[in-house]
Amino acid sequence: MDTKSQSRLLQLPDELILMILEFAIVEDEPLLLNCGCDSSYESEEEWEEDETLWQDGEKHSPYQPAISRTCAVLRSVALRMFYRENAFRAHYCYAVDVGVAISWLQCIGPKNRSLLRDVCFWDKNAQYDAQSPRELVKLKRSEVARDMGGRIENVSTEESTCHHVIFDDSDENAHYELVPQLFRGGED
C-alpha cells in the first residue's frame, strides 16, 4: 500500500495501534442494551427518569465505535475488539422492553454475534426468577435462543441473577493472532 494514501495510524507499530484501539473501544463498565429494571435503581423516580431517556432516544444500545468506520483494516480489528472485549448487559424483568436488546443482537448480525464473549440478560434481584418464572421462560423462548443460535447458561449469586448467552463456542483466547497481518496487508 502506498504510504501516502495509508492512514497515519496504520503507520504506527502494531502494539501501539492495539493500545490506541483498546483505549478508544474497550469500556470498563458493561454496555447496556436496554433500560434497567426498576430493582436496579435507588428510587422509582430515578428509574422513571432513565426510562424516559431510553424512550426519547437520549440513551440507546451501543453503536459500533466511530474508529471502526475509518477504513476496512481498522474496521476489521476494531469490531473484533469491540464485541470480544466489552461486556454487554440487558435486563429482562417485566418492566423493561427486552425487544430492544433482541433487536440490537439481530442488527449486529451473526458474524458479530459470534464474537461476543460477555453478553448477559440479568436482574439485580436474585430472587426474580423464582418470583416471576414466566419472564425467564419468555427469555429462553425468545429469538435469542430460537433464531439467533444463542445458548443460555444461568449464573446466580446472592446479589443478582445473570443468564449468559453464548453464540459461539470458539476458543476465547484466539483474539488477535492475525492483527499484525491485517495491519500490514496480510489476509484475514
Let me know if residue 149 belongs to a domain.
yes
Let me know if residue 35 belongs to a domain.
yes
Contact status, residue 27 vs residue 84, Cβ threshold 8 Å: no
Is pLDDT of 131 > 80? Answer: no
pLDDT for 2: 52
Let me know if residue 185 belongs to a domain.
no
Could you tell me the three cell numbers for 96? Answer: 423493561
Residue of 29 and 170 predicted with greater confidence: 29
Contact status, residue 64 vs residue 31, Cβ threshold 8 Å: no
80: enclosing H helix or E strand: helix 72-85
pLDDT for 96: 75
Q: What is the pLDDT of residues 61-71, one digit of tens each?
A: 999 999 999 88
Let me know if residue 7 belongs to a domain.
no
Let me know if residue 111 belongs to a domain.
yes
Is pLDDT of 46 > 60? Answer: yes
Range of the domain at 95: 30-68+86-169
Let me know if residue 125 belongs to a domain.
yes
Is pLDDT of 174 > 70? Answer: no
Let me know if residue 9 belongs to a domain.
no
Mean pLDDT value across residues 26-55:
89
- At 98, the pLDDT band (50, 70, 90 cuts) reads confident
Q: Name the DSSP letter for residue 15.
A: H
Domains in the chain, number: 1
Contact status, residue 30 vs residue 89, Cβ threshold 8 Å: yes
Mean pLDDT value across residues 7-20:
88
Q: What is the pLDDT of residues 138-153, one digit of tens each?
A: 777 777 777 787 777 7
32: enclosing H helix or E strand: strand 31-32
Let me know if residue 63 belongs to a domain.
yes
Mean pLDDT value across residues 13-29:
93
Q: What is the pLDDT of residues 160-169, one digit of tens each?
A: 677 778 776 5
